[in-house]
Amino acid sequence: MTTVPSTEPRAQLKALSSTLRKLHKALVDFETARFGDPGSAFEHLQLLTSHPQFAWLRQISEILVDIDERLDNKEEPVDAAAVEAVRKTLDSQLALGPQNSSEFHQKYLDALQASPQVAMAHGDLRHQLAARS
């Protein structure tokens, strides 16, 4: 069953955020499994925010923070331009190919190839982005 994407910009941004969160969680789970037992939830949070092995994930974390701040801003309504800006940021950040050879993209490609959960979440996000373009 295919759902029709909402045309309301706030709903579109929330949907992108939700799908990006699923991808982020899959990436965190993948990297955590490679790292090993992080210990308590607090220790895991410490690793995510300060350990070099998890540094590459912060690019996606920062996009999520930006989206959350935009959604929480009561003084400036979410408009189509805001959704388009997020879409372009995600398209650029997650584009695969020789033009993207940064550490982030190398690790992201590795995660895509090694984890079915990451690949599925990536596909869901790419599908959603394509539906909005």
Higher pLDDT, 102 or 111: 111
Domain assignment present for 3: no
Q: What's residue 123's pLDDT?
A: 94
E strands within 54-115?
Answer: none
Domain assignment present for 32: yes
Q: Which domain holds residue 13?
A: 9-132
Q: What's residue 80's pLDDT?
A: 92
Domain assignment present for 4: no
Lowest pLDDT segment from 12-21, 76-85, 89-98: 89-98
Domain assignment present for 101: yes
Summarised one tens digit per residue, pLDDT across range 4-41 is: 456 799 999 999 999 999 999 999 999 999 998 888 99
Domain assignment present for 59: yes
Domain assignment present for 45: yes
Domain assignment present for 1: no
Q: What's residue 39's pLDDT?
A: 86
Other CB atoms within 10 A of residue 38 CB: 16
If pLDDT is split at 50, 70 and 90, which confidence band does 107 have?
very high
Distance CA 70, CA 64 (A): 10
Domain assignment present for 40: yes
If pLDDT is split at 50, 70 and 90, which confidence band does 132 have?
low
Angle between helices 9-35 and 116-132 (to 10 degrees): 160
Structural domain count of the chain: 1
Backbone angles phi, psi at 102, to 5 degrees: -70, 170
Q: Which residue has the tokens 């799908």?
A: 19
